A and B are shown apart, each in its own frame.
Chain A
Amino acid sequence: MNTPELCTYMTHGAVMPFCKGCGHSNILKKLNDALVKLNLNPHDVCLVTDIGCIGLADALFDKVHTVHTTHGRSTGFATGIAVADKVLASDKLKTIVLIGDGGSMIGLLHIVNAALMNVDVTVIVANNFLFGMTGGQTSSLTPEHFNTVTSPFGSMNPSLDICQIADASKAGFIARKTATDKDLTDVISEAIDFSGFSIVEVLELCTEHGTKRNDLKGNMLLKMAEEEGHKIGVIKNSPVRPEFSKKYETDVNSHKGEIKPLKYINPKFVHNLKKPNGIIISGSAGERVQSTAAMLAEAALMCGLEVTQKNDNPVTQGSGFSLSEVIISPGEINYTGVASADYVIVVSENGLREIKNQDIFNRINDKTIFIVDDSLTIEKKGLNVISLPLRKYCGGDKAAVGAVDYVIRKFEPFQHNAIKLLLEKRFGEYEKIFKEEYYKL
């Protein structure tokens, strides 16, 4: 029976699968003792284990939930578990990651982000300075000059100070201990009890690879860390930052009323189309090409038409060309490109260049109408071009708006009132949106 007094989270009589003298056995016993000390319900504990010898721990803990993950990603999975538990479920779970020094580097960003988020996760880094399970290779936490199978003349690089990384990531609880420290149970239990992210790096010996290649004993670990410039003990215990779910409540959940619900469109105008019309609008990014196309699309929808709007721009969003293809149709639209344009609107140099780049002249017919700003010259002959001083009368930022409005006014694919309504909603009184001369065009 799991009475609190007798509760042990580790399998009774579990045989440690580790080499003789390996620090992992001690770390796991102390973890068990820490859980006993905290008297946690086993169902409210989840051990998330990484790849490597320390990851064998999950088979030893038969009372608590165990999740054995991919290499380095344990803190990532633990973050998902912890966030879902705190925000969406019981809010009772204690999520503890067991990871080695190798895993802590390949998964460093998961540790950094968990600390930044301040999720309620405890990361225990079992640091034996090398990859043990795969044969004793150098890790990023191997101290300089430390001998491993892949650094036979001593490791070239200094070791990463993961506690300092955690500090830079605003972690609230940070400790560096050794596997034989008498107060390791207390420090681990403090870390687990901490509301928010905590990390305990535990220095230890790999007796298979570490001690055979280096003059190293357990009582030398502290000195070794100091030589690397790494602090020892409980480095930080500062519960100042709210745990993630509390921050989420104040910073996001309390604002959710500010998100406006979608408004449906009421088709209150009519159209004159018997067949689909394709409209290509080409101009410069930042000059309302795509938003004008969206207005055209909405106006068409308000007239009971089917609509598609396909946009194109370079990978940057605010420079270069901007091009929209809008199809308005009395019936279903399948292919969303404009195969044979009814109108091609070109309002800037960038736009004209893109019309040529995309070979739009091969996507027209003999009735296609070009609405072109009068500052631009289309060299191709035989086109139906209407040249208008759009940039002059409407401004560069509204040249596309003026051109679309012109098309609806002059050719009436649908009621002009539809686009007028949207323009007024966006820019104010229709007669004052553009210069006076525009309205005489």
Chain B
Amino acid sequence: MNTTTKKLALRNGNQMTAEGAIKAGCKFFAGYPITPASGIYKGLIDLLPLNNGIAISSPDEISALAYCVGASMRGVKAMTATSGPGWALMIETVQYAMITETPVVICVVQRLGPCTGGATQGAQGDILITEFASSGGYTIPVLYPTNSKECYELTVEAFNWAEKYRTPVVLLSDKEVGMTTESLDYNKLNATPNANRHVITDHDADYANWKMYGFDSPDMITKFAPVGGKVKVTATGSAHNANGYLKKNDPETLATLKHLEDKIQAHRDEMVLVKEDHEEDADTLVISFGITARTMKDSVIKARTKGRKVSSLTIFSIFPIPEKAILKAAKGCKNIVIAEENINGQYRMLLEPLLKNFNVTGINKLGSMITPDEILERIVQL
């Protein structure tokens, strides 16, 4: 047995999200307890002081995210973690991060909804409420790991996107991904290098033309000014002009708002993370994410042993929707099966217009994980 190249441990997704945050350079965490996300809170309470950071407890989820956004405005990488009920409370504040272009990462570990729902039951029912959380429908980038290793790697990616595009980013997971412990080889962790926001200083060549929310082109990400630095910050959650002042009926203000969406759209091709398991001449493509993507893998293995030609696509970057990658994986197939643990096929609803030339069906479930046989059965029926 070759043991020299392994660094093994039993870790769950929440623990690895916390470790991923440390790797990403997170220095500030504020938490409010909620099952099944509390493991991230505990993880960072232990880890941040050891890594020159700070983790604090907050009196509610609104405070937790407001503390994080404030800390990020001061110039440090910040994160919080919650589940559906807490996310509901954070929705105003996440929009504040969006409109002020403040990088921040929010981990949403899904549980059974609606409302208080089932604290200790898994679900994938927050796909729509996570993405469509802003008045105006601006895109919130969302990453969704399937195991503890990916929790680490995608947390790093979430920070990198937040920093690069100056936006809130959601790391979506679920009770099963967050709380299931599994064997992990630390030597196999493969995170992308850390990205850091570009900070404006008063001796930069572009300082003379710099504006708080200025941009020359849709893809431009304005340089960040930290509160407390030498460049004056004028931040606001109100519709504002490029200088950060509240304005009404003003073309520059509308352009500044539109840029919030344009900058994400301009970079969406860089925000594609999927894993395709391609089968030559496949007639069926199964698409999934999170915990159900693991089920899907087993179903596809079984289907192939039964002689079925089937491909699969695991989507990690669920928003912005990786449309090109989905169409590429679907090419040549007749049937698309989208498996997700919610009652209404939330992601399927969004993909159907894109996949109108295919026979699209969903596998959906409430209250427990979709099993390999449930997906297999559909593949075999088609």
Q: What residues make up the interface of A, taking CB atoms closer than 8 Å to B?
A: 42-44, 46, 56, 58-59, 62-70, 73, 76-85, 87-90, 92-93, 109-110, 112-113, 117, 248, 252-253, 255-256, 259, 262-268, 270, 294, 297-298, 301, 304-315, 333-337, 339
Q: A64-B232, A112-B59 are in contact. Are A305 and B369 (CB under 8 A)?
A: no
Q: A265-B8, A337-B371 are in contact. Are A73 and B236 (CB under 8 A)?
A: no
B62-70, B124-132, B191-199, B254-262 - the one binding chain A: B62-70
Which of B10, B52, B119 is close to A309, meaning CB atoms less than 8 Å apart?
Answer: B10
Contact status B246-A68, CB under 8 Å: yes
A357: min CB distance to chain B, Å: 12
Q: A69-B237, A336-B182 are in contact. Are A81 and B227 (CB under 8 A)?
A: yes
Contact status A294-B181, CB under 8 Å: yes
B184: min CB distance to chain A, Å: 9
Which of A58, A64, A301, A311 is close to B8, meaning CB atoms less than 8 Å apart?
Answer: A301
B344 within 8 A of A: no
Contact status B183-A306, CB under 8 Å: yes
Which of A64, A83, A307 is close to B67, meaning CB atoms less than 8 Å apart?
Answer: A83
Contact status A46-B93, CB under 8 Å: no
Q: State the main secondary structure of chain A at its contact with B.
A: mixed
Contact status A113-B6, CB under 8 Å: no
Contact status B10-A297, CB under 8 Å: yes
Contact status A77-B66, CB under 8 Å: yes
Contacts of B186 in A (CB 8 A): 264
Contact status B182-A309, CB under 8 Å: yes
Q: State the main secondary structure of chain B at its contact with A.
A: mixed
Docked pose: A186 CA to B62 CA in angstroms: 34
Contacts of B28 in A (CB 8 A): 80, 83-84, 88
Docked pose: A63 CA to B369 CA in angstroms: 56
Contacts of A56 in B (CB 8 A): 246
Contact status A80-B66, CB under 8 Å: yes
Q: A80-B71, A304-B1, A339-B371 are in contact. Are A309 and B9 (CB under 8 A)?
A: no
Contact status A84-B59, CB under 8 Å: no
Contact status A80-B69, CB under 8 Å: yes
Contact status A79-B66, CB under 8 Å: yes
Docked pose: A334 CA to B294 CA in angstroms: 5
B235 within 8 A of A: yes
Contact status B74-A66, CB under 8 Å: no
B372 within 8 A of A: yes
Contact status B294-A335, CB under 8 Å: yes
Contact status B8-A84, CB under 8 Å: no
Docked pose: A56 CA to B74 CA in angstroms: 22
Contacts of B294 in A (CB 8 A): 334-336
A134: min CB distance to chain B, Å: 15
B138 within 8 A of A: no
B24: min CB distance to chain A, Å: 15
B206 within 8 A of A: no
Docked pose: A313 CA to B36 CA in angstroms: 12
